[in-house]
Copies of this chain bind each other. A is one copy, B any other.
Amino acid sequence: MDRNELAALLEDVARGKLSVDAAELRLRQQPVRELGFANIDTHRAVRTGAGEVVFGAPKTAGQIEAIVRAMHEDGQERVLITRLSPEKAEALDIAGLEYYETAQLGITGGMKQPDGHGRIVVATGGTGDIPVAEEAALTAEFFGSEVQRIYDVGVAGIHRLLAHMDEIMQAEVVIAAAGMEGALASVIAGLADCPVIALPTSVGYGASFGGVSALLSMLNSCASGVSVVNIDNGFGAGYQASMINHIRIGGKE
């Protein structure tokens, strides 16, 4: 329910067209559909102009199925399911579900036509970072951004990265995914003149501590213009990058 609808409703109360109790009921029940175990925010799409997301990891296949169906019934065709294991994907009975195994994402309703201000670059330090990078790239595409992938350009061979200077210089936003020492984000931010979202991955061993080394490295970047998301949070990086790629101009979207 947007602010105009709210204003209308309140006007009705003031004019006696609507009882206080009835209005209260509508206000309370409307934006959330209760399934017992989950409250779906079916109005988020209206508010944000984008699809809804289901965080699949802690949910059973049955719970995911019920949630997606309820969304479909409420007219929300486009749904993104993150951290969806192959086993759960196999068990789901949802028409039109596409499954991206590398990224562990499920999508219904297809990708959105790109309608952002420019292009998002998703770069990785190594081959092992690709699954997380794909989660970011596909998420950004789901929300209507064009994405260019530049993989395996870690700083140990800086010329591999420099060979892609043009693409990086023309990007709207860059997502820099790297594990181990996570230096990629700093080097790219030193080269680019657009926002860089650093995406630490859990690739590494020993003192990488499951991604903590990369995370700390990125938080302490000596380059300006870097912000960071959680370890392996490809969704978060892709979502925010697409949000930046769609920011309203002139105070209006």
Residues of A bordering B, CB below 8 Å: 3, 10-11, 13-14, 16, 19-20, 28, 31-32, 36-39, 41, 44, 47-49, 53, 55, 57-59, 63, 83, 117-119, 125-128, 130, 151-160, 163, 169-170, 172-173, 180-183, 186-187, 189-191, 193-195, 197, 200, 202-233, 235-237, 239-240, 243-245, 247-251
- Copies of chain A in the complex: 8
Q: Are B224 and A206 in contact (CB under 8 A)?
A: no
**A247→B192 CA distance, assembly (Å):** 12
Residues of B contacting A156 with CB < 8 Å?
Answer: 186, 189-190, 221-224
Q: Are A163 and B28 in contact (CB under 8 A)?
A: yes
Q: Are B247 and A226 in contact (CB under 8 A)?
A: no
Q: Are B225 and A228 in contact (CB under 8 A)?
A: no
Residues of B contacting A217 with CB < 8 Å?
Answer: 181-183, 213, 216-217
**A125→B58 CA distance, assembly (Å):** 12
Q: Are A232 and B206 in contact (CB under 8 A)?
A: yes
Q: Are A227 and B236 in contact (CB under 8 A)?
A: yes
Contact of A160 among B41, B187, B231, B249 (CB under 8 A): B41
Contact of A158 among B160, B191, B225, B226 (CB under 8 A): B191
Q: Are B208 and A220 in contact (CB under 8 A)?
A: yes
**A173→B228 CA distance, assembly (Å):** 16
Contact of A47 among B11, B63, B193 (CB under 8 A): B193
Residues of B contacting A239 with CB < 8 Å?
Answer: 224-225
Residues of B contacting A236 with CB < 8 Å?
Answer: 224-227
Residues of B contacting A32 with CB < 8 Å?
Answer: 157, 159-160, 163
Q: Are A155 and B127 in contact (CB under 8 A)?
A: no
**A244→B119 CA distance, assembly (Å):** 14
| A218 closest partner in B (C-beta) | B181
* 5 A–B contacts, CB within 8 A, in A order: A158-B191, A200-B206, A219-B229, A226-B229, A227-B240
Residues of B contacting A20 with CB < 8 Å?
Answer: 10-11, 14
CB-CB under 8 A for A230 and B206, given A127-B59, A154-B222, A214-B220: yes
Taking the nearest CB of chain B, how far is it from the CB of A196, in angstroms? 8
Contact of A170 among B53, B83, B251 (CB under 8 A): B251
Q: Are B180 and A181 in contact (CB under 8 A)?
A: no
